[in-house]
Each structure stands twice: as structure tokens, then as C-alpha cells.
Amino acid sequence: MSSKTNNNIYKTRQVAESQIKNFSLTKSLVDFLWSEPFYSRILRSLSKVETTNIPTAGVATVNDEITLWWNRKFLAGLTNKQVKGLLKHECLHLVFGHTTERRKEPHLIWNYATDLAINSTIPEDELPEGGLIPGKQVLIDEDQKANMSNEEIKTYESISNLIASLPRNKTSEYYFEKLSQNEEMQKMAKCEGGEGAGLPGFGFDDHEGWDELSDEERELVAAKVKELVKDAAGEANSRNWGSVSSSMRSEIMKMISNEINWESLLKRFCGFTKRDERRSSIRKLNRKYPGIHPGSKKIYKPSIAIYIDESGSVRDSELEKFFAELDNLSNKTDFYLYKFDHGVDEKSSFLWKKRSRPNIQRTLTGGTCFSKVTEHALKNKKKFDAYIVLTDGGAPKPPVSPGLKRCWVLAKNCNLAFDADDTDIVIKMK
């Protein structure tokens, strides 16, 4: 955040020295203990460091320690509700992996995008001034505007109008794409090596330090955060989820559910395939034009089909776990998804691309026929290397699947109603 932006933030928050001195972060944390068990569990695990090095607040990792940095002057000028919203905001940056995944470039646009995604889930009256909310213009006072150039005002109005036109409850990737299409946003983001100076009133927390981890550190911290979120979800399940919505709860459960080691399975199941692509690589010698053009290397990509059982015998809770596992699988590879009951529903099929999160709803409730699945897979044998069936197992045995590997993934406490072929892989979810 630029010094200009910082000054404007403070200008709107004239806080008495006594108020600053008497502010207690501990009080807010204790309130969370009773009203927000999920967020409370996360916050209890963070190091809390008071600082004046940042003007507001932020989460980052220092020496493998996940830390909440906070500026007393800033928090003292907020209402109790706004402090609550700020703490939720910082927790959700951790939950959604914003601190451990590499920021997209330009960083400034990615910063705005993550805030838009998070603030969609927090009540508006809990957000401090400057909170970017999809569907709502960013408001600044006349004093702030007086300190802006005509060019900055033009940029502010363009971006503010764009944000007001955006729908709520979309992913950071969605907002990043929409913001990146705005010319004024692009121009601002190009300043200061892609970080950009930002605008007064746009955002209320600090995102510095997110890109300072090595790949190894990033992986370790991500694992630590995931365990923390798991613990928080467990505590919330045993007590209550507080203000966490059912849709947010579902997203959280998707992220922490990882009962299947997909990486290991893909290596064992698919192996190397003929379906590959070539990518330029400076580490490979170009034999034809050495020292002039980079060489290329083969990237082996398995092509798999997923068949998910939506028959009437499969409970909604089992389907939810299936989709949670597929969300984890999508972090490893693209795959084709087909729904089935007594037949395969071609109309609802689609390519689930890596790291995307499609909105999927149940559409089938009929009987179960595994033979139709095998028949469909064999008909598309040239398209796939293997296929995986997620099911409760309750249907007659299908024919063998010659030349095409098959894996059964069974819902908790479920078994196949038949003996699987020797060439099949069977995995039971816990």
C-alpha cells in the first residue's frame, strides 16, 4: 500500500489517543471464542504481532510462523463489528490459500481479486471502510478526492463502476479475469513493477510478504494451514459454525477433504501415456539451433474419465464427499466428468479443468447400471487411458474392460456388490 493511500485511510479515522491506548485485541479474540468457534480456532494458532510497519493489518508467514500483523491505530478506529469482519477477512486469506499460492501477475489486480472473493462472504456492516464488495461502488470522501489527480479520479471511477457491476460469491480467479479486462486497471497495475500504487479507499489490509516464501517453504506452510483449517472445522462441527454459511462450509470441507492420494494413484493407474505435449525449455538443448532457440521437453498427460454415481441409492452427503475428492483431483490434472444412474448422462458431461471450481448440482436419481458405464468408456477408448467410477457399489457386475484401466472409488462403509476383476483397482473412502 502506498504512503498516499495510507495517509488517506488515516485521514478518515480520527482516533483519540486514549481510544488507541485502551484498545484491546484480546477482547475481540475472546468474543470470537464464544460466537465464532471456526475463526477462533484459526486465530488462536496465529502469532499476533503489533506493528506500525503496515498501516492496517495482514497475515503472512515469517520463519515458518503464521503471523497476524496489526496496527493499533487502525484497529482502534474500527467498530467492534468491523474488527470482527477484519479478523474474518484475514482468516479467510489463509483458508483459501492466498498466502501460500503464488500471486498472479499483476499483483495489484490479484490483491483486489482476493479481497472481492472474501468480502462476498462477510456481512457488509462488518467490513472496514475501503472493503471491496462485488456489486457495490467504492466510496471515498471529498478530502480524499481533492488529493487525487484528474487521471487518478478517472481511474477510480472506472474501477469503482466495474466493481459495482460484478456479481457476488465468485472465485478470486473470476474477479481477476474481470478486473484484468479493464484498461484503467491495467494501466494502474503497470506502475511500480506490477505492484501498483493502488487507490485511496481500495482495500483495508496488507498483502505484502505473500510471495517471499521459497517453493519448499510454501509447501510446508500450506500443509500447516490445511491442518489448522481441519482442526478449526472439527471444532466447529463439535460446537457450531457461527456465521459461516452452509455454502462456505461446503467449500471448506472440499478443501480439507483429501482421503485419496491422487498423485500416487495417477502414477500407478495411468503411468506414462502417448498423449503428450511439447513445451519450450531453456534447460533442453535445441539440437538444430543450439544457443539460439530453446529446446523442448515432453510433458506426459494422462487422459482420464470420471463417472460419478447419482443413482437414488447414493446419499447427498456421499455425493458431497465425491465432489470434494474430485476437487482435490482437479489440482493434479484435467479430467472428463460424466454422471450416471441407469445410463450415462452425456448432456451434463464436461471437462473439469485444473484448479477450476464448477458449480455442480445433482440431476439424476434413477437406478444403477455399471454396464452402461463400461460400455460408454470402451466406446471412447481412444479418448481415455483409464476411467474411475465413484459409487456406493450397489449394482450387478459389469463386463470386463479390456485395454482400459478401471478404478472403483467406494463411499464410506460401502462395498462392491460383486468381486472386482483382478485388473481393477478398488479404493474405499474413510
The H-or-E segment that residue 426 falls in is strand 425-428
Domain range list for the chain: 3-245, 276-428
The residue-averaged pLDDT of 296-306 equals 67
Q: Left if phi > 0, otherwise alpha if psi is -120 to 50, otherwise beta: which for 213? A: beta
According to the model, what pLDDT value does residue 281 have? 46
pLDDT of 283 over the 60 cut: no
Instruction: Give the pLDDT of residue 258.
Output: 59
pLDDT of residue 272: 40
User: CA dihedral in degrees (136, 140, 141, 142; nearest 10)?
Assistant: -120
pTM value is: 0.61
SS (H, E, C) 267-327: HHHCCCCCCEEEEEECCCCCCCCCCCCCEEEEEECCCEEEEEECCCCCCHHHHHHHHHHHH
**pLDDT for residue 381 is more than 90:** no
Mean pLDDT computed over 240-259: 81
The reported pLDDT for the residue numbered 136 is 92
pLDDT range class, residue 13, cuts 50, 70, 90:
low
* Nine cell digits for residue 413: 462403509
Comparison of pLDDT for 82 and 385, the residue scoring more: 82
Length of the chain: 430
pLDDT over 50 at 309, yes or no: yes
Give the pLDDT score at 392. 94
Choose between 140 and 312: higher pLDDT: 312
Please tell me the CATH code under which domain 276-428 is placed. 3.40.50.410
In this model, does residue 359 exceed pLDDT 70? yes
Q: Is the separation of the CB atoms in 378 and 295 below 8 Å? A: no
Peptide bond into 106 cis (omega under 30): yes
pLDDT digits (tens, 9 = 90+) for 33-90: 889 999 999 999 999 999 998 888 999 887 778 899 999 999 999 999 999 999 999 9
Distance CA 188, CA 202 (A): 13
Report pLDDT digits (tens) over 329-353.
Answer: 888 888 999 999 999 999 989 999 8
What's the whole-number mean pLDDT along residues 214-222?
79
The three-point CA angle 404-407-411 to 5° equals 155
Q: What angle do CA 95, 171, 208 make, to 5 degrees?
A: 55
* Confidence tier at 357 by pLDDT (50, 70, 90): confident
Please report the pLDDT score of residue 112 as a whole number: 92
Cβ–Cβ under 8 Å, residues 121 and 248: yes
Mean pLDDT of the chain: 82
- 410-429 per-position pLDDT tens digit: 988 898 999 888 888 888 88
- Placement of cell 471502510 in the chain: 129
pLDDT tens by residue, 163-206: 999 999 898 889 999 999 988 888 888 764 444 456 666 777 88
Q: Which amino acid is at 209?
A: G
